[in-house]
Structure 1
Amino acid sequence: MTRVHIPIHLRWGDQDAFGHVNNAAITKLMEEARVRAFWKHEDSDLSSPLAVFDGELKVGDDGPFFTLIAQQDVTYLAPVPYVQAPIDFQVWLTRLGGSSMHVAYEIRGDVEGEDVLFATASTVIVLASQETMRPVRIPEAARTQWAPFVETA
């Protein structure tokens, strides 16, 4: 199984009155992990192997695109304490459709020397034309790059 590890530092404001990361903050952190996973960094050495979108949301000559969230699910397994070390967002794909991709996550971190699985999650993303707002086929260049990261159950 090939996963991309995206380290995300928590922000002080991610925690709630109970002293752990709020459930709504987890979805924002997932969004940050997705952006870092799928969008190219200006320094290509810092880009994840899933990164296909440039700053204009193009894939090569294809695009520009919008990425629309069609569905998102989170299963919370343990409270996420505020820690200074980054949380590990493991990201991979479970399905590539015609215009959609199914992204899976494991959200993990170190708590007192123990690796803890805080949550599992999934997001269905639909690629759409910025011009028409209609779904469009995922470009072959993206499919080829993403193929090693598709893990089916």
Structure 2
Amino acid sequence: MTDEPIATVETTPQGRRLHIPIPLRWGDLDAFNHVNNTSMLKLLEEARVRAFWQPGAGEVAPPTAVLDSGLHSGILTLIARQEIEYLAPVPYQRHPLDVQLWFGKLGGSSIEVCYEVCSPVETAAPDGRQTVYARATTVVVKVDAATGRPMRLTPAERDAWSPYQGAPIVYAHRH
């Protein structure tokens, strides 16, 4: 157990963002001594789980953690699409990365989760600027486990997530 906060919230001119500290593991690095592209997907997954799944007994979670994660819930969260734009190599560091999350869109049964993977808060420049290593988007669809059909977002989910809605990521290198 660490003393790291599970999440912090920041209100920016672009909207409210959830900051999830995600520590790196030595195994996340590749032969070039930076985070491997497949490991980046795992880091984003870890941030999503911490941000959205309800906490267990004695655990602390952000206000966005409203999804029941147990198999007994009958709800699946399936990934429909993911996109990552790498802006700089992520070197190994002991301080956790600052994964910033918000919602680009809340659909009928889906959510568009937007991320910026940033350098650790502890290593920010004096003016607070951080290196943005990657920007990413994940479309998550809520599905009924028994039928495989999409399930509508509940009012409680919308209430928890709407304050974190902002502009979706516009990728620079699309053709």
Please indicate, yes or no, whether the TM-score normalized by the shorter chain is above 0.5: yes
Pairwise CA RMSD: 1.9
Unaligned segments of structure 2, at least 5 residues: 1-14, 169-175
Offset of residue 45 of structure 1: 6.6
Partner secondary structure for residue 2 of structure 1? strand
Q: Please state if 1:122 is matched with 2:122.
A: no
CA change 1:105–1:96 in 2 (3 A) is same
Partner of 1:47: 61
CA–CA separation in structure 2 for the residues paired with 1:152 and 1:88: 19
Q: Which residue of 2 aligns with 1:30?
A: 44
Amino acid at match of 2:52: F
Q: Where do 4+ consecutive residues of structure 1 move more than 3 Å?
A: 110-114
- Secondary structure, aligned partner of 2:163: helix
Identity %: 47
Give the corresponding residue for 2:152: 137
Partner of 2:9: none
Q: What is the match of residue 3 of structure 1?
A: 17
TM score, norm. by length of structure 2: 0.79
Which SS does the other structure have where 1:31 is aligned? helix
1:28 and 1:152 map into 2 onto residues whose CA distance is 24
Aligned-partner Cα distance in 1 for 2:123–2:64: 31
Q: Which runs of 5+ in 1 are unaligned?
A: none
Q: Which amino acid aligns with 2:80?
A: A
